[in-house]
Amino acid sequence: MDLKLSGPHIGTDDSIEKTMWNVVLALIPAAVAAAVFFGYYALFLIFSTAVFSVLLEYPFTRKFPGDGSAFVTGMLLGMSIPADSPFWLPLVGAFFAIIIAKQLFGGLGNNIFNPALAGRAIIRLSFASYFSSWPAPFDGITGATPLAHRAADSSYTYLNQNGLSGIWNLFSGNIPGAIGETSALALLIGAAFLYYRGYIEWRIPGAFITAVIITSALLGVNPVLSVFSGAVILGAFFMATDMVTSPAAREGRLFFGAGCGALTVLIRYFSSYSGGVTFAILTMNGLSYLFDHLFEGFHYGQYQIRKRNYKIVGASIIAAVIIALFSYFSLLIA
Amino acid sequence: MSDEIKHFSMGGIEIPARKELNTDLEIEELPLPEVVYLPVRQHIGRPGKITVKKGDYVKRGQCIVEEQEGVSARLHASLSGEILDIKEIPDGRGGKSEAIIIKRDQNAEVKRINFSLKTKKEKSAEEIKEIIKNSGIIGMGGAGFPTHIKLSPPADKPIDTIIINGSESEPYVSVDDRTMQEKTAKIFRGLELIKKMVGAKNGFIVCEENKEKAIKKLASEAKKWPELSYQVVDSLYPHGAEKMLIEACLNREIPEGELPMEVGVIVNNVQTAVAVAEAVDEKQPVVDRIVSVSGYGIKNPKNLIVPVGTPIKELIDYCGGVVSEDSILIIGGTMTGFKAESTEIPVTKTGFGIIILSESEYKEYESRVCIRCAKCVDACPVYITPNRITDFINNNYLEEAEALSLASCIECGSCAYVCPAGRPLLRWLREGKARVRERNN
């Protein structure tokens, strides 16, 4: 049998380029929102980083404008910095993102860590002073993000002070924060577009946001504030769903998203950094191949194995509940 | 069965069905060719024993290859005439196979198949089995498993349901679609015979929802057969695969590495059912087969009934030839079939389609780096992970590939169809399976 003659002989007109430029399109609403809230300098930061990233990649791929992945990386990086950053800050980040995190690992498809987030993590740690205060929309007066409010005062002064309009501001993006992450509305429009085109799937963002809500509730943090402040929406729909650095297996994706969400809240709550999304996703990126292996899931025809495993899991949950109840009541009696 | 449109649980892809070319064309008879090339082995299993020699005169319908012990099937001459030669010819998959070449006798009178159902004479299960074996019937949907073996499961595997598979999910092809429209009664008759032979309780015909005319025909015919019914499934690819069909219609999952009879089901193609009806009622062995000649690269697409062994060149010429010299010739379906390098390759019992694709439609594989987008994982109907399995195969870790259920792959091609990086995943999966077979031997 000569496999060169084998099919399928037809295919979708989908390509890597198409995938990447669709992500760029999906980021446009957030860029527009950034321009509205933070002025044209924010827009300049986003696109200068994107173009610079493409130029940085040119020596490696010898293609212009390349497959679009560098443009996406640059846009995401430009969106994750404060609007009053000096112009060179994201360019330094782009250098680390494209050269160190991506091309030194072997280029698109072989990088382990999300390049945009790796670049951001490096500038976040190296130039920490630029990330300590965030300009508020419209007036440009710098202030703490709602997250920092919360970190300072666990009674959520932000929401308590602002009430319903506070929630609307959180959702629409009228809050201090990084350029592209504040407007949940604009990001969700882009995410809906990607979902409609089939470039993202519900598992990672769904598990991410569910885990954020559950972990916040367990720690006594307001879940609404957790989800709509900081980079959770941007992270869940655009960063964690980065194809290269997330697991491919179905169940692996669920665990990956859940891990990102839980770690985000834990880092925010216990560490001194206000933004936990970057480090949470980078940590989980490192685990993504392992998750592919561990959570491969069942294949067609393994019905019996599946049934047995469900029984084991069910029995252990019931046992755990019984032990917990028993110890609780014995404590009560004592 | 219920009126509900059923579907399988996970994976599957939407492909443009492209049935508009052939779905309304009546099945035509191809004028008899001058020469036919009959490959000895057209089925899965052991090749049969040739009972004729060069120079013999054979009649249409005469047995020229006898089945052997085990999994094997008969072959009948599809023309009356002299045997020119017995030699190796290209098999259309890049290899060679032995074939019997018959030159047509111009004076021989040939009766072609009629489309209506003739006399119904009741026969016992044993008689039916004997007739099926003697008529050389094999799975005519593409797999080519000898039907008399498929229909004799061991006694400890009781069969309760017979499914006749009319869900033709390959694009362009309208063979089963046309058969369901034109030979509806014969399909039901074939199902009745198979059901009787196996002793199954239920029997139904499955059709995809995008074949409205065929469904209408089935619905009106089903009223005449109180014990048989039909079922509509949605038109996701690959609904024609028997594992998917059983899952969709009966919600039963075949254990890994087992056959459908493990869950009490036998699936047969529509063509096979017709062949059974014709063999039993009309004493007609498998000498003809219906072929869709389709695609935007052919001048006049047609559905043809042709003698087995006709070179595909004859079919293409009869359909007015190709539109442009650059067009690409596919034997079988565009998803699972093979690209033909020459037009001398004969039509076999399992060859349901000849598709001529224009060059722009043809997918050239680039084999770029995997971006782990997981589209192949989401598309896979048996939910294995093609990206990881092919990585293991390409680096020669066969055990790891097998641990990820390489054997479960049904070779539908959904993964390679959706891959944005143009990776030939199906070729690699087939390569892996071939290497596993080689190692086990």
Residues A147-156: pLDDT tens digits? 654 444 433 4
Residues B295 and B270 in one domain: no
CA B248 to CA B354: how far, in whole Å?
Answer: 29
Nearest to B353 by CA among B291, B407, B283: B291
Model pLDDT for residues B19-76, shown as the tens digit of each residue: 888 888 888 888 889 999 998 888 888 888 888 888 889 888 888 888 888 888 888 9
Number of residues that this document lists for chain B: 441
**Residue of B246, B256, B418 to mutate, interface with A, max A Cβ within 10 Å:** B256
**Contact yes or no for B372 and A244 at CB 8 A:** yes
* Nearest CA distance, A321 vs chain B (angstrom): 32
**Contact yes or no for B363 and A292 at CB 8 A:** no
* DSSP 8-state secondary structure symbol assigned to residue B346: B
Judge contact between B52 and B58, C-beta under 8 A: yes
Judge contact between A83 and A34, C-beta under 8 A: yes
Q: Considering the domain boundaries, does residue B4 fall inside one?
A: no
pLDDT exceeds 70 at position B297: yes
- A/B interface, count of CB pairs below 8 Å: 166
pLDDT of res. A149: 47
Write the CA distances from B200 to B127, B152, B277, B299, integer angstroms: 17, 12, 17, 45
Written as one string, the DSSP assignment of A17-60 is: HHHHHHHHHHHHHHHHHHHHHH-HHHHHHHHHHHHHHHHHHHHH
Tell me the CA end-to-end span of chain B in Å, nearest whole number.
44
Interior angle at CA A331, CA A328 and CA A333, nearest 5: 115
Residues B94 and B120 in one domain: no
pLDDT exceeds 70 at position A223: yes
A204 touches chain B (CB under 8 A): no
Instruction: For residue A160, give every residue at least 6 positions away whose Cβ sits within 8 Å of its Cβ, in sequence order, or none.
Output: none
Write the CA distances from B368 to A16, A53, A63, B359, B414, integer angstroms: 9, 21, 15, 21, 18
Residues B162 and B244 in one domain: yes
CA A112 to CA A106: how far, in whole Å?
Answer: 10
Judge contact between A135 and A129, C-beta under 8 A: no
CATH number reported for the structural domain that contains residue B240 in this entry: 3.40.50.11540
Q: Look at residues B323, B357, B391 and tell me which one is the last residue of a structural domain.
A: B357
pLDDT exceeds 50 at position A317: yes
pLDDT of res. A152: 40
Judge contact between B200 and B266, C-beta under 8 A: yes
pLDDT of res. A182: 81
Interior angle at CA B115, CA B291 and CA B286, nearest 5: 55
Q: Considering the domain boundaries, does residue A321 fall inside one?
A: no
Model pLDDT for residues A44-77, shown as the tens digit of each residue: 999 999 999 999 999 988 888 888 899 999 999 9
* Nearest CA distance, B242 vs chain A (angstrom): 13
Residue A33 has, within 13 A of its CA and on its CB side, a CA count of: 26
CA A79 to CA A47: how far, in whole Å?
Answer: 9
Q: Considering the domain boundaries, does residue B65 fall inside one?
A: yes
Residue B376 has, within 13 A of its CA and on its CB side, a CA count of: 29
3 state DSSP class of B293: strand
Query: How do strand B288-294 and strand B353-357 relate by DSSP bridges?
Result: parallel
Q: Considering the domain boundaries, does residue A304 fall inside one?
A: no
Residues B229 and B259 in one domain: yes
Do you find a cis peptide bond into B285, omega within 30 degrees of 0? Answer: no
Mean pLDDT of A308-331: 88
Nearest CA in chain A to B91: A1
Residues in chain A closer than 8 A to B391 (CB atoms): none
Interior angle at CA B375, CA B371 and CA B380, nearest 5: 135
A306 touches chain B (CB under 8 A): no
Nearest-10 Cα torsion for B373, B379, B380, B386: -20
Residue B135 token pair: 């008529």
Mean pLDDT of B323-350: 88
CA B288 to CA B295: how far, in whole Å?
Answer: 22
pLDDT of res. A29: 93
Residues B381 and B416 in one domain: yes
pLDDT exceeds 50 at position A169: yes
Q: Look at residues B242, B264, B282 and tell me which one is the last residue of a structural domain.
A: B282
Judge contact between B198 and B161, C-beta under 8 A: no
Residues B274 and B291 in one domain: no
B368 touches chain A (CB under 8 A): yes
Q: Considering the domain boundaries, does residue B424 fall inside one?
A: yes
How many domains in chain A? Answer: 1
Nearest to B102 by CA among B140, B52, B30, B47: B52
Nearest to A229 by CA among A243, A214, A244, A216: A216
Percent of chain B whose predicted confidence (pLDDT) is above 70: 97
Q: Look at residues B258, B282, B306 and tell me which one is the last residue of a structural domain.
A: B282
- Distance from chain centroid for Cα B336: 10
Q: Considering the domain boundaries, does residue B177 fall inside one?
A: yes
Residues B275 and B131 in one domain: yes
Give Dmax over CA atoms of chain B in angstroms: 63
pLDDT of res. A193: 95
CA B184 to CA B225: how far, in whole Å?
Answer: 11
Residues B172 and B277 in one domain: yes
pLDDT of res. B240: 87
Judge contact between B173 and A9, C-beta under 8 A: no
pLDDT of res. A273: 67
pTM of the model: 0.90
pLDDT exceeds 70 at position B221: yes
pLDDT exceeds 60 at position B115: no
Nearest Cβ partner for A109 among B335, B371, B431: B371
**Contact yes or no for B341 and A298 at CB 8 A:** no
Q: Considering the domain boundaries, does residue A310 fall inside one?
A: no
Q: Considering the domain boundaries, does residue B335 fall inside one?
A: yes
Nearest Cβ partner for B339 among A5, A199, A246: A5
Identify the top-confidence range among A218-222, A227-231, A321-325.
Answer: A321-325
**Contact yes or no for B387 and A2 at CB 8 A:** no
The mean-pLDDT minimum among A177-191, B100-114, B141-155 falls in B100-114
pLDDT exceeds 70 at position A139: no
Model pLDDT for residues B186-201, shown as the tens digit of each residue: 999 999 999 989 989 9
Residue B27 token pair: 């099945």
CA B79 to CA B57: how far, in whole Å?
Answer: 10
Q: Considering the domain boundaries, does residue B381 fall inside one?
A: yes
A129 touches chain B (CB under 8 A): no
Residues B278 and B299 in one domain: no
Written as one string, the DSSP assignment of A57-126 is: HHHHH--SSTTSHHHHHHHHHHHTSBTT--THHHHHHHHIIIIIIIGGGTSTTT-SS-HHHHHHHHHHHH
CATH number reported for the structural domain that contains residue A249 in this entry: 1.10.3430
How many domains in chain B? Answer: 3
A327, amino acid identity: S
Q: Considering the domain boundaries, does residue B12 fall inside one?
A: no
Instruction: For residue B13, give every residue at least 6 positions away whose Cβ sits within 8 Å of its Cβ, in sequence order, or none.
Output: B236, B237, B379, B414, B417, B418
Q: Is A53 exposed, middle or buried (0-12, 13-18, 19+ CB in 10 A)?
A: buried
* Nearest CA distance, A34 vs chain B (angstrom): 28
Question: Assign residue B18 a region: left if phi > 0, alpha if psi is -120 to 50, beta otherwise?
Answer: left
Q: With bands split at pLDDT 50, 70 and 90, how would you rate the model's confidence at B272?
A: very high
pLDDT of res. A147: 60
**Residue of A6, A63, A201, A292 to mutate, interface with B, max B Cβ within 10 Å:** A6
3-state helix, strand, coil in chain B (%, to 5): 30, 20, 50
CA A171 to CA A176: how far, in whole Å?
Answer: 12
3 state DSSP class of B241: coil
**Which residue range forms the structural domain that includes residue B276?**
19-24+115-282
**Contact yes or no for A248 and B377 at CB 8 A:** yes
| Strand ranges of the sheet holding B288-294, from the earlier edge strand across to the other edge | B27-29, B302-307, B288-294, B353-357, B328-331, B338-339
Nearest to B409 by CA among A6, A67, A299: A299
**Which residue range forms the structural domain that includes residue A135?**
16-294
Q: Considering the domain boundaries, does residue A110 fall inside one?
A: yes
Residues B239 and B169 in one domain: yes
Give backbone dihedrals phi and psi of B115, rounded to 5 degrees, phi first: -95, -15
Written as one string, the DSSP assignment of B137-181 is: -B-TTTT--BHHHHT---TTS---EEEEEE---SSS--HHHHHHH
**Contact yes or no for A10 and B417 at CB 8 A:** yes
pLDDT of res. A70: 93
Q: Report the mean per-residue pLDDT for chain B.
A: 88
Residues B233 and B379 in one domain: no
Question: Assign residue B127 a region: left if phi > 0, alpha if psi is -120 to 50, beta otherwise?
Answer: alpha
Tell me the CA end-to-end span of chain A in Å, nearest whole number.
76
Residues B276 and B320 in one domain: no
